[in-house]
Amino acid sequence: MTTTTNKSWRTICEAADLVKDSGISALLANEAGNEEQIAIFHIPHSEEKIYAVGNYDPIGKANVLYRGIVGSIDDEPVVASPLYKQHFSLKTGQCLQEDQSISVYPIRIENEQVQVLY
């Protein structure tokens, strides 16, 4: 039996709640009751301005990525894990130093509301 879960735009916070060049975390649950922490980053000087990725660091094995340092490597927006400092692409989720990746979620600002497709 296959279970399908419908994704929908979930309001996370007001756009004014975002902190420039930093991250926040949020807990999301889908219709099946599965929960996941996500990290949302506001990088005003980047192409997409805001990014949503899984908050779980697969190398450090902890929900800490929202506390990471944001920057760019070769024009790729990244977050450096606060634990072991691996860099994860905010566009693709791929770790630049290891064969690991994190989830990436569509995100938008609609009527001054930050929304994630989950």
Whether 2 has a pLDDT exceeding 60, the answer reads no
Whether 87 has a pLDDT exceeding 70, the answer reads yes
Percent of the chain at pLDDT exceeding 90: 86
What residue ranges do the domains of the chain occupy? Answer: 9-117
pLDDT number for residue 47: 85
pLDDT number for residue 5: 64
Fold of 9-117: Rieske Iron-sulfur Protein (2.102.10)
pTM metric for this prediction:
0.91
DSSP per residue, the chain: --------EEEEEEGGG--BTEEEEEEEE-TT--EEEEEEEE-TTSSSSEEEEESEETTTTEE-GGGSEEEEETTEEEEE-TTT--EEETTT-BBSSSS-B--EE-EEEETTEEEEE-
pLDDT number for residue 4: 58
Whether 104 has a pLDDT exceeding 60, the answer reads yes
Mean pLDDT of the region 30-35: 85
Whether 89 has a pLDDT exceeding 90, the answer reads yes
